[in-house]
Structure 1
């Protein structure tokens, strides 16, 4: 089978979900190509799309929230969105690419390529079977403008929400968000700490702002460091992602403090999550799913307004995480629960009940079954 996986670099989650599927299909012996469709317009456009998003959420998350809210309002209008038309401008380049390369299926972990393929279909251009993976626990604005053969939704109890925005229920696959094999294979805490050369007897709090290092990390660190002053045998690990400015600032301020370890971008996030006793992160759909698959006590902090707020609400309402909107005010109580051992067991049980760790396998099984019927 020939599979094309399309994603865009607006945050790390979309690429990670797409690569999880690519990895599994490749393991099963299929030929897989992974690409950003905007590569067809040149690497400069790819960087422009990625950098614009990263800078917006790092520097002005409130503005991103307003843009998201505007999208929620715009989707009520009986016309196509500007987002749809902008992505549609890539349809000619994508059509030419598909003419030159044979694929049996196109799997998309981002809405932008789905808009491109939808434009092609509405131009009556033949395209391979298409699948769109939703990587947030909500139906984001303008997803309803896509016309895909199948939609992978994060959970069965979200099918009504997606249906309310016009996604055909008969096309939904409620398998969950795909995660990579590093998270699915069940690494133990002991194995993870040994791999990272961490103390087997220490307690570790892991703090991450996602791949782009966004969120109220500095405020959260100050709160945690105050907590650590009254603790023994407890260390904070901070993952700054691609936010080099933040990493340098934290190294300058905390570089000599033995209670804090500062890291930049890492390819060992599964090990860090598995090694920690408590994980604090902004509520990205993919990172939250990864934590739940591993069974890590999870605290959501400072969501980027919009879909991350929806992710946080979904997890907290099902007791899979603790939601903290104001770290300075709310986090101390959570840390006290962590210290006295009352935070964790029930949360892990809820994660195990609500999140299917076999999402990647189930999706790839379905893709293979569809190919066998072609």
Structure 2
């Protein structure tokens, strides 16, 4: 089986889900091609086109409706919309890929890709099964206007919401969120700390993702009593040479600034509490690993739904400010009973084999 995996924005969560699907497909002897939205604009897109894609086309629903009837509308009004051009270019290249790529399945990890595939199904014929794969614990609006074969969602509790929006029940398949196998270390906390040269006798806090990492770090440091804890944080700029973020904490023994290519799975295993923006895949991985979790503030509506899903089930603590996140994290590190309750809730709600379930469904029609 040959599968095309379409992602949307340049987003760590979507990259992780795509990688997990590719790993499971490869384990079953299947091939997979991952393409982001930017790649389908072709070589050397202009800066204005990239901005139009990322800032307007990807966030807005119904972008491909204009391709059905909007061409003449735009000509009649003697103007050209940059978003229209971006969508048309994306659809044209995707159409060529679908007609010539001989794919058996297409997995859309973003509403934009799902809308594009649905549009193309109305104007050209291709045999690939087309599915949506949710990357968040959320009900995605306007997804009901797409025309796909199946919708793989993060949890069965969202099925009713999708049905109320008009997606047939027989097309909804609750599977969880696909997670890459290399996100799990298998190391005990003490062993992971020894490998990372982290102290054994004090709390360690791992900030994986944050809209404002500096505020997240500073809020924790403000609550430390002297040298009483460690903060490991992934640099938002990738920690290149002369990184301002690295320089900000240089010389502070309490802070370890990490690059994305560092062994982040070991830091997850080594920490007492994980603090992160509520990405679906990252949150699911923390739950599967049984890591105490604090969700940081977010301005993203889908991420806010993920935080609410986890906190309502006792799988995380959700903060509205970085100061409250720090307070929750320090309290959680000291409260063994609360950590045990969170661990039990996590083990009852999240699964590690979502990508395998999707591959099995593609092969056999059932999970």
TM range (shorter): 0.7 to 0.9
TM-score after normalising by structure 1: 0.82
What is the deviation of 1:196? 3.4
> Cα deviations across residues 73-104 of structure 1 (Å, max 9, x unaligned)?
xxxxxxx7236545752333222222222111
- What is the CA–CA distance in structure 2 between the aligned matches of 1:235 and 1:46, rounded to whole Å? 43
Q: Provide the secondary structure at the position in 2 that maps to 1:356.
A: coil
Q: Which residue of 1 aligns with 2:70?
A: none
2:313 to 297, 314, 318: 318
> C-alpha separation between the residues in 2 aligned to 1:219 and 1:97?
44
Moved more, 312-321 or 269-278: 269-278
2:213 to 191, 197, 217: 217
**1:12-31 → structure 2 map (5 Å cutoff):** 12-31=12-31
Q: Shift in Å at residue 181 of structure 1?
A: 0.7
Query: Does 2:169 match 1:174?
Result: no
Aligned with 1:235 (options 230, 235, 240): 230
What's the CA shift string for 1:142-181, capped at 9, x where partnerless?
A: 3222211111100011111122222222111101110011
2:127 and 2:316 map into 1 onto residues whose CA distance is 40
Aligned CA distance change for structure 1 residues 46 and 158 (closer, same or farther; 3 Å): farther
CA contact (8 A) 2:318 2:325 kept: no
Instruction: Write the mapping of 1:1-374 to structure 2, written as runs, cut at 5 A.
Output: 1-45=1-45, 81-82=62-63, 85=66, 86=84, 89=88, 90-183=90-183, 186-209=186-209, 214-230=210-226, 232=228, 234-242=229-237, 248-266=243-261, 268-329=263-324, 331-370=326-365
Q: Flag as ranges the 4+ runs of structure 1 deviating above 6 A.
A: 46-54
Contact 2:64 2:119 in 1 (8 A): no
- Kept in 1, the 8 Å contact 2:3–2:33? The answer is yes
The whole-number CA distance in structure 2 between the counterparts of 1:50 and 1:259 is: 39
**In structure 2, how many angstroms separate the alpha carbons of the residues matched to 1:290 and 1:357?**
8
- Structure 2: tracts of 5 or more residues without a match: 67-83
Q: Secondary structure in 1 aligned to 2:275?
A: strand
Instruction: Report the CA distance between 1:122 and its aligned residue.
Output: 1.3
Structure 1: tracts of 5 or more residues without a match: 57-63, 72-79
* CA distance in 1 between partners of 2:264 and 2:144 (Å): 32
Deviation at 1:13, TM superposition (A): 0.9
Describe the SS at the equivalent of 1:20.
helix
Distance in 1 (CA, whole Å) between partners of 2:152 and 2:320 is 29
Q: Aligned-pair distance for 1:332?
A: 2.0
Alpha-carbon deviation of 1:285?
1.2
Deviates more, 1:293-302 or 1:157-166: 157-166
Q: Is the 8 Å Cα contact of residues 20 and 355 (structure 2) preserved in structure 1?
A: yes
CA positional deviation for 1:182: 2.0
Give CA-to-partner distance per residue, 1:221-252, whole Å, 9 cap, x none. Answer: 222112222563x211011244659x933332
2:7/2:18 contact within 8 Å kept: yes
Distance between the aligned counterparts of 1:48 and 1:267, measured in 2? Answer: 33
Given that 1:135 and 1:286 are in contact with CA atoms closer than 8 Å, whether structure 2 keeps it comes out as yes
- Give the Cα separation in 2 of the matches to 1:164 and 1:186: 41
Q: How far did 1:368 drift?
A: 2.1
For residues 26-73 of structure 1, give each alpha carbon's deviation from its aligned partner in whole angstroms, at most 9, with x where no partner exists: 12211222222542322444987877788x7xxxxxxx9xx97xx6xx
Distance 1:199 1:284, change over 3 A: same
Q: Aligned equivalents of 1:46 and 1:32: distance in 2?
A: 28
> What residue is the counterpart of 1:74 in the other structure?
none
Looking at structure 1, the residues matched to 5 and 325 of structure 2 have their Cα atoms a distance apart, in angstroms, of 41
What SS is found at the alignment partner of 1:262? strand
Q: Provide the aligned length of Structure 1 versus Structure 2.
A: 346
Q: Distance in 2 between the 1:2 and 1:40 partners?
A: 19
8 A contact 1:88–1:115 mirrored in 2: no
The structural deviation recorded for 1:313 is: 0.8
